[in-house]
């Protein structure tokens, strides 16, 4: 609160981080654009990009199309995506994904496996992800450097230490998955862990449909319903990082039983089980995202039972959206995971409920959209979590990269 303005050394770190963040999020840019965007003169920009180039984080090239204008063309600064990368993991209820993601947000390579539903076994998850990681690292360029790692988990994660506190099929004991995974990978990077919906929000805000939108709610449908909320451009974490659990907002007191022990939570009325039960699929043993998508498809083809199940689910989803619009006044609500399909199949119900229960002022300008990054939303969010730490302390990473270069 009482922070003084930055010292010259802090200012340099800040400017390096800002520059690198811009290149990472927006892609290649000319020195002239960077100078103008940051309000710095060209010699200052040149010193900054020179430092990043020397460390091998970016490269500077002549622009591909040189316009016929007086003077030298401004060099274009590009991220070294294959050289500087993070590991991203997505630990869903039904699947495990691991990927190498390069600076600039490029998925360089990925591995995925299905997970049977059952008790959450940390050793098994750590083992599978470590095995994927060995394969991914082996195939990286020889001079490539892993600068961080992040994982998305479909449950509640404590921000201070990455402890898993609650999740579907997670036992009563808290699990310190990040530490276990970091040790097992043995790459000298620690694995940051975040809630999957929070990371989905981060991904859509930085690289998806929500770019430029500083007040955004991301709703993620998997087995349950998660939420990630961007407030004033920053992810809402709350006191301990548990913020955004909109799936456990009670919308129907006395309604369907929820896995959390309460009743009528948004998740209990809109989650996978609610839709599949209404569509008569649970009795038939059909579960998972394919089953959800099959119901939406059947409704689309005119199946009356599926249509009715989807409408009733959309009514509750719309009520939840209206509540969130009143509470947050977001510029955008984004539907991801299976909620993408459910929303597309019940948009009329959602909009109708929003009109009934949303106040005129906050709803008049809100946009309802679907996630642009598809099934990779949470994975890309995990990569962004890992890159965040790099961008917040670029000097530490630059030192590491220079050491790696001199070692080869």
For a copy of itself, the closer CB: 124 or 240: 240
**Per CB under 8 A, does 30 bind a copy of itself?**
no
CB of 214 to a copy of itself, least distance (A): 8
CB of 86 to a copy of itself, least distance (A): 21
- Of positions 75, 108, 187, 260, contacts a copy of itself by CB under 8 A: 260
**Per CB under 8 A, does 1 bind a copy of itself?**
yes
Please state the length of the chain.
408
CB of 142 to a copy of itself, least distance (A): 34
Contact letters for a copy of itself, residues 92-131 (x by CB under 8 A)? ----------------------------------------
Kindly determine how many residues on this chain lie close enough to bind a copy of itself according to the rule CB under 8 A.
Answer: 68
For a copy of itself, the closer CB: 2 or 66: 2
- Considering only 184-192, 281-289, 360-368, 388-396, which stretch makes contact with a copy of itself by CB under 8 A? 360-368
For a copy of itself, the closer CB: 134 or 234: 234
For a copy of itself, the closer CB: 15 or 378: 15
**Per CB under 8 A, does 234 bind a copy of itself?**
yes
- Of positions 54, 284, 327, 403, contacts a copy of itself by CB under 8 A: 327
CB of 108 to a copy of itself, least distance (A): 26
The DSSP bridge pattern shows strands 106-114 and 84-91 to be: unpaired
- Helix H, strand E, coil C: the string for the chain is CCCCCCCHHHHHHHHHHHHHHHHHHHCCEEHHHHHHHHCCCHHHHHHHHHHHHHHCCEEEECCCCCCCCCCCCCCEEEECCCCEEEEEEEECCCEEEEEEEECCCEEEEEEEEECCCCCCCHHHHHHHHHHHHHHHHHCCCCCCEEEEEEEEECCEECCCCCCEEECCCCCCCCECHHHHHHHHHCCCCCEEEEEHHHHHHHHHHHHCCCCCCCCEEEEEECCCEEEEEEECCEECCCCCCCCCCHHHCECCCCCCECCCCCECEHHHHHCHHHHHHHCCCCCCCCCCHHHHHHHHHHHHCCCHHHHHHHHHHHHHHHHHHHHHHHHHCCCEEEEEEHHHHHHHHCHHHHHHHHHHHCCHHHHCCCEEEECCCHHHHHHHHHHHHHHHHHHHCHHHHHHHHHHHHHHC
**Contacts to a copy of itself from residues 153-182, by CB under 8 A:** 156, 158, 165-166
Do residues 223 and 271 make contact, with C-beta atoms less than 8 angstroms apart? yes
**Contacts to a copy of itself from residues 184-223, by CB under 8 A:** 214-215
Find, among 91, 94, 90, 119, the residue nearest to 288 by Cα: 94
CB of 260 to a copy of itself, least distance (A): 6
**Per CB under 8 A, does 319 bind a copy of itself?**
yes
By the 10 Å C-beta count (0-12 exposed, 13-18 middle, 19+ buried), 177 is classed as buried
C-alpha distances in Å from residue 360, one per residue of 250, 325, 333: 23, 10, 16
**Per CB under 8 A, does 283 bind a copy of itself?**
no
CB of 298 to a copy of itself, least distance (A): 27
For a copy of itself, the closer CB: 4 or 70: 4
CB of 294 to a copy of itself, least distance (A): 29
**Per CB under 8 A, does 361 bind a copy of itself?**
yes
**Per CB under 8 A, does 245 bind a copy of itself?**
yes
- Of positions 119, 253, 302, 407, contacts a copy of itself by CB under 8 A: 253
**Per CB under 8 A, does 38 bind a copy of itself?**
yes
**Per CB under 8 A, does 366 bind a copy of itself?**
yes
Tokens of 57: 């984080």
Compute the distance between CA of residue 20 and CA of residue 45 in angstroms, rounded to an integer. Answer: 12
For a copy of itself, the closer CB: 172 or 304: 172
**Per CB under 8 A, does 275 bind a copy of itself?**
no
Q: Catalog residues that contact a copy of itself under the rule CB under 8 A.
A: 1-6, 10-12, 14-15, 18, 21-22, 37-40, 156, 158, 165-166, 214-215, 227, 229, 231-234, 236-246, 248-253, 260-262, 319, 322-324, 326-331, 356-357, 359-362, 365-366
């Amino acid at each position: 609160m009482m922070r003084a303005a930055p010292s010259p050394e802090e200012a340099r770190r800040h400017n390096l981080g800002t520059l690198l963040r811009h290149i990472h999020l927006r892609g290649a840019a000319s020195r002239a654009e960077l100078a103008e965007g940051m309000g710095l003169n060209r010699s200052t920009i040149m010193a900054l990009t020179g430092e990043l180039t020397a460390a091998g984080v970016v490269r500077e090239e002549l622009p591909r199309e040189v316009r016929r204008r007086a003077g030298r063309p401004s060099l274009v600064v590009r991220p070294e995506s294959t050289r500087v990368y993070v590991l991203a993991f997505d630990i869903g209820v039904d699947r495990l994904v691991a990927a190498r993601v390069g600076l600039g947000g490029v998925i360089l390579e990925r591995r995925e496996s299905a997970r049977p539903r059952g008790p959450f076994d940390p050793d098994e998850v750590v083992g599978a992800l470590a095995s994927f990681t060995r394969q991914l690292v082996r195939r990286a360029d020889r001079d490539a450097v892993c600068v961080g790692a992040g994982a998305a988990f479909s449950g509640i994660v404590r921000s201070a230490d990455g402890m898993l506190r609650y999740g579907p099929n997670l036992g009563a004991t808290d699990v310190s998955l990040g530490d276990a995974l970091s040790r097992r990978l043995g790459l000298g990077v620690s694995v940051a862990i975040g809630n999957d919906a929070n990371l989905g929000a981060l991904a859509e805000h930085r690289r998806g449909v929500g770019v430029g939108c500083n007040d955004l709610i991301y709703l993620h449908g998997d087995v349950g319903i998660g939420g990630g909320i961007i407030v004033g451009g920053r992810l809402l974490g709350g006191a301990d990082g548990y913020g955004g659990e909109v799936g456990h907002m009670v919308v129907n007191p006395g309604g369907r039983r929820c896995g959390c022990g309460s009743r009528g939570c948004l998740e209990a009325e809109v989650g996978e089980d609610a839709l599949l039960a209404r569509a008569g699929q649970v009795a038939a043993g059909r579960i998972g995202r394919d089953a959800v998508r099959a119901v939406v498809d059947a409704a689309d083809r005119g199946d009356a039972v599926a249509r009715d199940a989807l409408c009733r689910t959309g009514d509750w989803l719309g009520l939840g959206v209206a509540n969130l619009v009143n509470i947050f006044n977001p510029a955008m609500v984004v539907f991801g995971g299976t909620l993408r399909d459910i929303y597309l199949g019940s948009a009329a119900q959602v909009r109708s409920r929003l009109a009934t229960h949303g106040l005129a002022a906050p709803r008049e300008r809100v946009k309802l959209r679907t996630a642009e990054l598809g099934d990779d939303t949470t994975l890309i969010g995990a990569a962004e979590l890992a890159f965040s730490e790099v961008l917040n302390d670029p000097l530490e990473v630059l030192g590491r990269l220079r050491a790696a270069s001199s070692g080869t």
